[in-house]
């Protein structure tokens, strides 16, 4: 009888240990896997290859958007954004640009260094409404372009495009 009790206790402890290990190995902190990835070259005023726009679809219905410029100037703050429409808007006088995604700014600390900005996107808030679900396919289905620019401290401020890339249609 004592042997059966010891076996039952041992089996109970083993089952508890296995359950604990399997529970600990499952974590909600695991990053979502990448399903699809697209890289688009950025164009500067003089060349292709001024950087890249990388879009990575994740398994959790979000996507990561990374914009990278290959060279920068020390102490310049670069602004990264995705604009609704076509790059032809930049060639018009005083264009009205609707920002689809604002990645924020990044200040360069040295000359010729790469500057990178990344965000994870699940929703966007259009200028004319509430937040809406926005995914990898949404970005590629419509006409958008990535833009990197800086605003000088001159009065009036002079807007300067550093690089751009057409995304989607």
Cα separation, 21 vs 23, whole angstroms:
5
The residue range of the domain holding 51 is 34-168
For residue 63, count other CB atoms closer than 10 A to its CB.
26
Residue 88 lies in a domain: yes
Q: Please, what are the averages of pLDDT over each run of 10 residues along the chain (169 residues)?
A: 64 63 54 85 80 92 91 88 80 70 88 89 78 86 88 62 85
Residue 22 lies in a domain: no
Looking at residue 155, what is its pLDDT?
A: 53
CATH code of the domain containing 53: 2.60.40.200
Residue 29 lies in a domain: no
Report yes or no: 99 and 83 within 8 Å, Cβ to Cβ: yes
Among candidates 101, 156, 167, 108, which has minimal Cα distance to 132?
Answer: 101
Looking at residue 124, what is its pLDDT?
A: 82
Number of domains in the chain: 1
């Amino acid at each position: 009888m004592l042997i059966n009790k010891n076996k039952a206790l041992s089996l109970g402890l083993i089952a508890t240990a296995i359950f604990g290990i399997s529970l600990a190995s499952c974590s909600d902190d695991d990053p979502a896997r990448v399903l699809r990835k697209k890289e688009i070259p950025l164009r500067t005023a003089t060349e292709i290859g001024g950087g890249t726009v990388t879009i990575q679809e994740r398994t959790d219905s979000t996507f990561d958007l990374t914009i990278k410029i290959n060279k920068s100037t020390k102490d310049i703050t670069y602004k990264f954004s995705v604009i609704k429409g076509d790059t032809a808007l930049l060639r018009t006088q005083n264009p009205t640009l609707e920002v689809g995604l604002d990645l924020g700014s990044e200040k360069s600390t040295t000359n010729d260094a790469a500057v990178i900005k990344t965000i994870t996107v699940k929703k966007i808030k259009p200028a004319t409404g509430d937040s809406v679900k926005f995914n990898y396919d949404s970005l590629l289905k419509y006409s958008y372009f990535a833009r990197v620019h800086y605003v000088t401290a001159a009065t009036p401020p002079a807007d300067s495009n550093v690089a751009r890339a057409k995304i989607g249609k």
